[in-house]
Chain A
Amino acid sequence: MLRASSRLFGKALVVAEYLDGKIVPASLAAITAATKVGSVSALVAAKDAKSLGAELAKVNGVSEVLVASGEQYAAGLPEEIAPLVKSLVDKHNFTHVFAATSAFGKNVIPRAAAKSDSMPISDITAIESEDTFVRQMYAGNAVTTVKSSDKIKFVTVRGTSFDRAALTGGSATVVETDASTAVSSAKWVEDLIAKSDKPDLTTAPKVVAGGRGLKNGDNFKLLFDLAEPLKAAVGATRAVVDAGYCPNDMQIGQTGKTIAPQLYIGAGVSGAIQHVAGMKDSKVIAVINTDADAPFFQVADYGLVADLFDAVPALTKLVKN
């Protein structure tokens, strides 16, 4: 089907997200999604948003960057950003508001939607038309296509379902916009973030994940040893995060992170519905488990019934050579 952008009448606002002064990859996927409904404006709200805005202006597909600078935006609090989004929607007549399905996007988009009396559409995996979207329910066991009757569609976008917009090639106009009045009902206190030089779980092309079969936190070293030569990120199931073996930001699944790497290697993971929901779109799935009846073998491209304590170090050795 021929679909020239000039035939699309939508006007989309993408609420961009930054980490350490860089636009996050999931926001770039949200920009790609937004280009499917019409022209794309991107909003960057930060303490001093100017340089971020300049960076965003170069992203392919963005035609306008709205820059809002203010102390109140420093921590990305939804109490401050939702009113800003509402005022921009009213002023610029946006038909769509997009953000990534991240902790930030999930926090901001529904609150902003409430202010415009819209029903937000969470974690879309495809766009059929400007008002029709595909999303999953029941831990990915039902795929539904929904049509929205709202005047303004508020949408969060699954980062692994859309390509990321290129960081170059764009030449958007940058418009400074007035900051909204500080609400101050919420105050940022601190971030408790484990700094790591390891690849980011949601964007890594290879992921090694561990489950209850690892038995304790120390044994995750086996997975990190395998991950290192592969340049893979390490993830985990809910069970092991709950047990305190790993921090919560490593959780893959319905209520954790959704990933779709080129290669997923699962060790000691049974393959519960909730975990599979977060990784079943991986290109190649390899599973190592002692239990030949583990449900995970049904989704695995390659399954090895073996003790991970033998198999993982052996695989690490082969990879290193």
Chain B
Amino acid sequence: MFSRSVVNLFRPTLANNMKVIVGVKRVVDYTVKIRVKDNKIQTDGVKMSVNPFDEIAIEEAIRLKEKKIATEVIAVTIGNKKSEEVLRTAMALGCDKAIHIVVPDADAVTLEPLAIAKILAKLHAEEKPDLWILGKQAVDGDFGSTPQLLAGLIDAPQGTFASEIAVADGKVKVTREIDAGRQVVELKLPAVVAADLRLNTPRFPNLQSIMKARKKPIDTREVAKLDVDIKPRLTTVSAAEPPVRKAGVKVKTVDELFDKLRNEAKVL
């Protein structure tokens, strides 16, 4: 009872003082068709970008700041040295500062959502944000599990596949995209939100803000100093390209298409 009244005491200020952390991952650009060779996914020399869902997460956090709901937005990435560039992008878009957990190249390739979530949970204890906004999935691993893992580890409620969020009175109302339509849930803060595609349309950074972002601070830390077990739980036994479909035929008329579907493929 006592603790509840303490929370209520702080509630009026909480909404206007929100600290938001966004997770950002550097991934192979979504337009690149990846190749698999010698049992390995080939990522050398391909174009890298901010994971598209993370751009949406950043945008949402910045909008909360523009609405004066959030006062501070921190971007976090976990990855090798080159990952710094996604933090510069995040700051050019409006994030106030950034944290880079540097992972050696060799460990970075095997880094799994569970390890990421554990690192984020550690940052949660330190930074005590009111809201986490992450992308719903990274388009490289396609796991789609980091937000839920983080929420589970820190015992916070989760608003996954979010297409709309509204923060008020120490709560976040999340409209979620589910199989049959949408669902609205209300979560107590602190909470973890996972951005779906339709949450917003991310803006582009302009040149001036890109220049300014170069001066914003990045808190760079070595993963080894965090005391988090990042050893992978999954070993890749093999990797291959999916089987190629055999070449189809081009038909000339609708009648021919109908005939083929009915009499050759027998699916009509």
- Interface of A toward B, CB cutoff 8 Å: 19, 75, 77-79, 82, 102-104, 106-115, 117-123, 128, 132, 136-150, 185-194, 202, 206, 230, 238, 241-242, 247-249, 254-255, 257, 262-263, 273-274, 280, 283-286, 288, 297-306, 310-311, 314-315, 318-319
Contacts and interface: CB of A to CB of B under 8 A. Distances in A.
A114 B114 contact: yes
Nearest to B179: A103
B235 A122 contact: no
B165 interface: no
Contacts of A115: 152
Interface stretch (B2-10, B61-69, B94-102, B242-250): B242-250
B143 A120 contact: yes
A146 B232 CA distance: 11
Contacts, number: 264
Interface residues of B, number: 84
A302 B181 contact: no
Nearest to B31: A273
Contacts of A273: 30-31, 33
Contacts of A262: 267
Contacts of A122: 142-145
B137 interface: yes
Given A19-B180, A148-B233, A185 B157 contact: yes
Given A142-B41, A302-B257, A111 B158 contact: yes
B158 A305 contact: no
27 contacts: A103-B176, A103-B177, A110-B146, A110-B149, A114-B149, A120-B145, A128-B237, A138-B34, A142-B239, A142-B240, A142-B242, A145-B236, A146-B237, A147-B234, A185-B156, A185-B157, A185-B188, A189-B184, A192-B182, A194-B180, A247-B181, A249-B181, A263-B265, A280-B242, A284-B265, A301-B245, A311-B257
A226 to B, nearest CB: 11
